[in-house]
Amino acid sequence: MTLKVYADPITINCRKVLAGLKFLEADYELMPVNYFAGEHKESAYLALNPNGTLPVAQDGELLLWESNAILQYAADKVGNDEAYPAELRARADINRWLLWEASSWFPCCYVYLVENVGKPLQGGSPDEALLSAQDIEFDLRATILDQRLAGQEWLCGANPTIADIAIAAPIHMHGEAKVPLAKYPNLHRWMTKNVEALPSWLDTWVGPGFTLERPET
């Protein structure tokens, strides 16, 4: 059965799921929910995901929120053992990055997107004091990733896995969001040379000002 994904492709966790499903070669049907119109707070959506957050996936009777849980489920459903290996230690490693992304990396990176993209789009200006303080938080986490990526192409070894997609999502608009990536050469290389070259990533492109139309290159 094709997974129905209720999502707005511009948001971090929706892009994660859409890019991840393409990466996994899992069939899905996009059920558009407009984030900026607040459709994820309306009763019809809350009946699917009482958290009022995007995305949520539906497979028959199963309603699944939490973007990383959706990727884990889809990987197992299609049996993509390269993207989400069943081997105990490899899987534990990936699960660790997925949990860390949701609990620590996403909340940290989100601040740059809100301050440098979201607020200006709504006529406001970034809180520079908040951003300076955030640089310290970001440094802690980016250093962990930078060290991990030293000497290896992908987060969990020689090949990309769903962990790469999950960790890339919170920095998907790193240029416009002014995420200080360039200070971390391995992380920067992984994002700009590896992740951003993946067909699934290119297919789910989100551009400046949250545009979805990719200009011809």
Ligand X SMILES: N[C@@H](CCC(=O)N[C@@H](CS)C(=O)NCC(=O)O)C(=O)O
DSSP category for residue 116: I
DSSP state of 49: -
Q: Which residue's entry shows tokens 């707070």?
A: 41
Stretch that binds ligand X, among 19-27, 60-68, 152-160, 193-201 (CB under 6 A): 60-68
SS3 177: coil
Write down the least CB distance from residue 40 to ligand X, Å. 5
By CB under 6 A, residue 12 contacts ligand X: yes
* 164 scored as a contact of ligand X (CB under 6 A): no
Question: What does 145-198 look like in DSSP terms, one character per residue?
Answer: HHHHTTT-SBTTBSS--HHHHHHHGGGTTTTTTT--GGG-HHHHHIIIIIGGGS
Query: Which of 6, 20, 26, 67 is close enough to bind ligand X by CB under 6 A?
Result: 67
The three-state secondary structure class of 18 is: helix
CA-closest candidate to residue 85, choices 194, 147, 187, 159 = 159
Note whether 52 binds ligand X by CB under 6 A. yes
Quote the least distance from Cβ 102 to ligand X, whole Å: 5
End-to-end CA distance of the chain: 36
Angstrom distance (rounded) from CA 56 to CA 6: 5
Smaller CB separation from ligand X, 68 or 116: 68
Considering only residues 91 to 110 of the shown chain, the ones binding ligand X according to CB under 6 A are 102
What single-letter amino acid sits at 195?
Answer: V
d(CA 197, CA 48): 33
CB of 169 to ligand X, least distance (A): 8
Residue from the set 22, 40, 172, 174 that interacts with ligand X by CB under 6 A: 40
Binding to ligand X by residue 209, rule CB under 6 A? no
Per CB under 6 A, the list member of 4, 30, 39, 53 interacting with ligand X is: 53
Q: Please say whether the dihedral angle defined by the alpha carbons of residues 33, 36, 39 and 41, taken in this order, is positive or negative.
A: positive
Query: Which of 66, 115, 146, 164 lies at the binding interface for ligand X (CB under 6 A)?
Result: 66
Scan for tokens 């090949």, then name that residue.
Answer: 159
Nearer to ligand X, 11 or 204 (CB): 11
Shortest distance, position 152 Cβ to ligand X, whole Å? 25
Q: How far is the CB of 65 from ligand X (least distance, A)?
A: 6
Q: Summarize as ranges the residues that interact with ligand X (CB under 6 A).
A: 11-13, 40, 52-54, 65-68, 102
